[in-house]
A and B are shown apart, each in its own frame.
Chain A
């Protein structure tokens, strides 16, 4: 049987990777950090505190499990297809199942180890008597099942997609459908009929969702309707097998290059024209941009790419229209709507900028195109400036619109605050302003950090993940760490925080966010300027030699000084 040899080989290879062990440590530390945070803030009795610790940690673990497929498996087969190595596997006696299980074994090892690292921390509430062993067991079962579902969705989509980002987005979309389609339908039906859904409806529409299963983990919910949990678990498990079987059947057929039929070619041409415009437009754009910066042209050829970010505001507009119709003028008096719109729009825009910047150079470096670019008289400065101009071309409109929108919201809230004299509104206005400044600075940080990660990472998805983590998550970790430190230090000296410290919190958050982003911009920009040329001529994975040489010989850059 050839199943076990390939699984064993992949596991052996995976077990030699250092990232497996560092990842495990990082997950354990993250879980300890979150626990520390909860324990510091929560002054309740141990049983209550344990309960909140359990549910908070399990929520994080659930999101981790549900989204793991996006980073880990969504490009594992697609990458082999791109590099033309998938066919080599099928020249042997291997079948589709062997390949899919082998890939699953190799990629899931790190994910499973990450989950295992969290479990001891997750078991603390068990010791505190906050949750029962059965609750703990049900949670573990659900988390593992959700992780396997996510990984199998990723692997199935990677069989059909060749592009890494498209595959990751499709996996994300599929997971959203699997987790939330039923509850969303239920919500929409309730909204249309203006009736709250009956328990039978909830059960019918939500049983496919692991979130529903998650809500049935606690003894109280489980004992009331024990089968609901198991139905959810089994449904998800069946889904997982459907994805695995589909992937196994499809993978053995998708690796060969097949010529396009006439209709397919016509469709491709139509799509290309829709994206790039007419030949005349394309030629004029090329002439115009090539004389400005060739690299800019390389990334500005798509017209649709520039339009997509406006979808965020289109969705926001739909939300406001819906709110106006549903709630009338009360909707406009709700401060949360203003803050929510500004925050969500900027968060999605930041994600987008980070994702775009992080996929610029990874493939170019891997396939050698970046090296060719540097064999011309183009300087590192020209290449970076071309990328910057392209990103600006794509996002400047939405960014300006968002800034104006935020300022408009702030202005409306300020008028409201003057009229009612509320200090809370003033605080919100200041927060919006701080948020606006951070949006601009973070956009710069996302670009520079994204570009740096894209040249360093082996896979586009990892580059994107790394960028988003560095720019959007790390400042929060630093902020929370700092707050914990302050609280613990105050307690140690016998002081207590007595409220009214929201301005302190806001300024700390702003200072850490701003300082960190500025440091990231400076650091990544300097690294790109000094090392991009050399990295371009080094294959990913050979940086060790490069590092040693840099240490031995100082700067490796052959960039002209003038």
Chain B
């Protein structure tokens, strides 16, 4: 059963919205971005944690928030979670101002900090029941909701276990279940996969993808960029409190790619193959690197098929052909200077 089914499809388990004054967003509200910050600044005594940050996260995005330690990611998330007051600028969550309408914002977000404590002497269901009560979910509904979120995060079998006896990965999943208990529209997850083993990380990412499919907006800050690359549809890169990129993952890659490179592996006579390739106007450079031919195309939009065509025409057997793609880690390294505050 998915969370969509849990909260919306099944009439018997339909979740009562928490905000009584604003039960369902009307169309105008639906059109608003999930998060919008404008000139958001947070000043500490001798440093600027956030420097005029303009950020927009659309509804339904799985948004990766990338930056070095001290770049301002956690500060941003804490402002959005209504824990910190900005020094200047504004931040809106689903159209609500995080300062003026902090209480309303808390109803529609689920915040999972990078480091959070659990009440180790509580059973899993007690813990979630407690947080359900904090979100003012009616008692008759809580039991069902707790069971459902536990099912979603794969911890149904552990509902009677004491939290202190569970592994870190399971505690992290309980943290995620807690975040979901009131069916928030926006999830703010600060390093949710930190400290988890590879399997637990993959499972966590799968749950996040499922949540995105359900229409949740998720902002996730993480250092594991390879995972964000496959997980997120949009990313923002922040350094020293300044936003240096915000947009699609592919967009940032295109922006950073200085040249279009294709790697070719041929069956015989690579020098001859290089000679053939160099005769083509679409190819600006071809050279042998580590047993493969590195072909630099003349332009970004040059047709790669010309390589295969040329080699086949001249009887050179092709064993492999791959376009070089920048990883998010490389993009991040190129874009940032590694400066921390």
Contact = CB atoms under 8 A, between A and B. Distances in A.
A556 B130 contact: no
B84 A537 contact: yes
Given A375-B111, A378-B134, A290 B178 contact: no
A524 B133 CA distance: 27
Nearest to A302: B121
A372 B117 contact: yes
Nearest to A292: B133
A371 B103 contact: no
Contact of A377 (B84, B106, B117): B106
A364 B117 contact: yes
Nearest to A551: B45
B279 interface: no
Interface string A337-371: 00000000000000000000000000010111101
A294 B127 CA distance: 11
A294 B43 contact: no
Interface in A510-553: 533-534, 537, 545, 548-549, 552-553
Given A377-B18, A533-B83, A558-B83, A291 B130 contact: no
B32 interface: no
A375 B106 contact: yes
B274 interface: no
Given A298-B119, A379-B103, A549 B45 contact: yes
A470 B107 CA distance: 39
A552 B139 contact: no
Contacts of B135: 376-377
A201 to B, nearest CB: 48
Contacts of A368: 113, 115-117
B131 interface: yes
A368 B85 CA distance: 19
A560 interface: yes
Nearest to A547: B45
A219 interface: no
Interface in A5-62: none
A556 B85 contact: yes
Nearest to B114: A368
B124 to A, nearest CB: 14
Interface string B127-171: 001110111100100000000000000000000000000000000
Contacts of B118: 369
B126 interface: yes
Contacts of A545: 44-45
Contacts of B106: 375-377
Nearest to B78: A537
B221 interface: no
Contact of A375 (B81, B119, B133): B81
A373 interface: yes
Given A367-B117, A369-B118, A369-B119, A548 B133 contact: no
Contact of A298 (B44, B103, B130): B130
A562 B101 CA distance: 10
A287 B99 contact: no
B83 A287 contact: no
Given A367-B117, A537-B78, A537-B84, A372 B178 contact: yes
Q: Which of B82, B99, B115, B135 has the most CB of A within 10 A?
A: B82
A364 B120 CA distance: 11
B103 A377 contact: yes
Contacts of A90: none
Interface in A441-492: none
A316 B268 CA distance: 100
Nearest to B79: A558
Interface in B84-119: 84-85, 87, 98-99, 102-103, 106-107, 109, 111, 113, 115-119
Interface in A241-300: 286-287, 290-291, 294, 297-298
A286 B129 contact: yes
Contacts of B102: 558-560
B176 to A, nearest CB: 13
A313 interface: no
Contacts of B136: 377
A560 B103 contact: yes
Contact of A558 (B99, B129, B182): B99
B206 to A, nearest CB: 24
A320 interface: no
A291 B137 CA distance: 9
Nearest to A293: B133
Contact of A290 (B84, B113, B129): B129
A377 B106 CA distance: 5
Contact of B44 (A379, A533, A548): A548
A371 B44 contact: no
Contact of A294 (B109, B111, B130, B178): B130
Contacts of A534: 83
Contacts of B43: 549, 552
Nearest to B46: A548
A400 B178 CA distance: 40
Given A369-B119, A533-B83, A549-B45, A297 B130 contact: yes
A372 B116 contact: yes
Contacts of A372: 113, 116-117, 131, 178
A375 B83 contact: yes
Nearest to B101: A560
A287 B131 contact: no
B116 A374 contact: no
A558 B130 contact: no
Contact of A369 (B78, B81, B84, B116): B116
Contacts of A290: 129-130, 133, 139
B126 A286 contact: yes
A90 B113 CA distance: 30
Nearest to A370: B117
Nearest to A556: B85
A246 to B, nearest CB: 28
B134 A294 contact: yes
A291 B118 CA distance: 21
A553 B139 contact: no
Contacts of B178: 372
Interface string B268-310: 0000000000000000000000000000000000000000000
Interface of B: 18, 43-45, 78, 81-85, 87, 98-99, 102-103, 106-107, 109, 111, 113, 115-119, 126, 129-131, 133-136, 139, 178, 182
Given A375-B113, A377-B135, 10 more contacts: A290-B130, A368-B116, A375-B81, A376-B131, A545-B45, A549-B43, A556-B84, A558-B99, A560-B102, A562-B103
Nearest first, the 10 A-B pairs at minimum CB distance are A367-B117, A290-B133, A560-B103, A376-B134, A369-B117, A548-B45, A537-B83, A368-B117, A294-B133, A375-B111
